[in-house]
């Protein structure tokens, strides 16, 4: 499909929430190696906030939908998870503005804005074993797909694949940010829980668009 609309964005958000819920135990388990083992439960709460934010959004406005979702996730009170994932959606919402159809170029703009919005709250770079390791390659893949004029769904699939690879790639990294960094070399051997969550979110975005087949 060439462009997606408000209902597609809603399906993307709900599919991401569903995937996170399905994998929350795995996320907490990953967090138990470097953190305090609550990433899965925090992400499940964040997804509850996401749905609450969706319910508060003015019908039909993509930017309001994403801003409400972002604001609600900011309020999850779960350490870094709220500011990071909340900023992601707020960034997307700011970039879309008042437009009601999102083509692949606008989608790439929105995800680049999301990446910048996350960079505003963390100095973590690629290679630091954080969600940035999934986010940055996903956004790069999405932009590359947009430059080639790919279909929106193809672009989202490529972004999801890149995010997944990025998350997997954190397995051999030593953490340099957050609580896990204090474990240094001992943090190697497991993928980063935040990067894994980010990859699930991108996977959910692609699934949300695919299930409907476009509008």
Residues that bind another protein (CB under 8 A): 28, 32, 36-38, 41-42, 71, 74-84, 86-87, 120-122, 177-179, 182-184, 186
Output 138-143 pairs: Cβ under 8 A, ≥24 positions apart. 138/111, 138/162, 138/163, 138/166, 138/198, 138/199, 138/202, 139/108, 139/111, 139/112, 139/114, 139/115, 142/107, 142/108, 142/111, 143/108, 143/111, 143/112
Closer to another protein at the Cβ: 68 or 164?
Answer: 68
Closer to another protein at the Cβ: 71 or 151?
Answer: 71
Q: How far is the CB of 100 from another protein (least distance, A)?
A: 26
* Two structure tokens written together for 45: 């709460």
Closer to another protein at the Cβ: 187 or 203?
Answer: 187
Q: How far is the CB of 34 from another protein (least distance, A)?
A: 9
Closer to another protein at the Cβ: 60 or 184?
Answer: 184
Q: How far is the CB of 31 from another protein (least distance, A)?
A: 8
Q: How far is the CB of 120 from another protein (least distance, A)?
A: 7
Q: How far is the CB of 76 from another protein (least distance, A)?
A: 6
Closer to another protein at the Cβ: 87 or 203?
Answer: 87
Closer to another protein at the Cβ: 71 or 212?
Answer: 71
Q: How far is the CB of 93 from another protein (least distance, A)?
A: 14
């Amino acid at each position: 499909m060439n462009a997606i609309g408000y209902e597609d964005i809603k399906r993307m958000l709900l599919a991401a929430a569903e995937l996170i819920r399905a994998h929350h135990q795995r996320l907490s388990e990953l967090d138990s190696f470097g953190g305090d083992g609550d990433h899965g439960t925090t992400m499940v709460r964040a997804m509850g906030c996401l749905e609450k934010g969706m319910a508060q959004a003015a019908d039909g406005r993509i930017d309001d939908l994403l801003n409400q979702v972002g604001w609600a996730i900011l309020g999850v009170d779960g350490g870094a998870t709220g500011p990071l994932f909340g900023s992601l959606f707020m960034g997307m919402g700011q970039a879309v503005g008042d437009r009601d159809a999102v083509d692949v170029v606008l989608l790439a703009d929105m995800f680049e804005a999301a990446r910048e919005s996350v960079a505003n709250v963390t100095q973590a770079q690629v290679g630091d074993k954080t969600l940035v390791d999934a986010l940055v390659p996903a956004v790069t893949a999405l932009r590359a797909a947009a430059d080639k004029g790919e279909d929106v769904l193809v672009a989202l699939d490529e972004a999801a694949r890149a995010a997944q690879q990025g998350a997997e790639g954190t397995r051999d990294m030593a953490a340099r940010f957050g609580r896990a960094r204090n474990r240094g070399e001992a943090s190697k051997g497991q993928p980063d829980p935040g990067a894994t969550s980010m990859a699930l979110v991108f996977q959910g975005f692609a699934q949300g668009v695919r299930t409907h087949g476009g509008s």
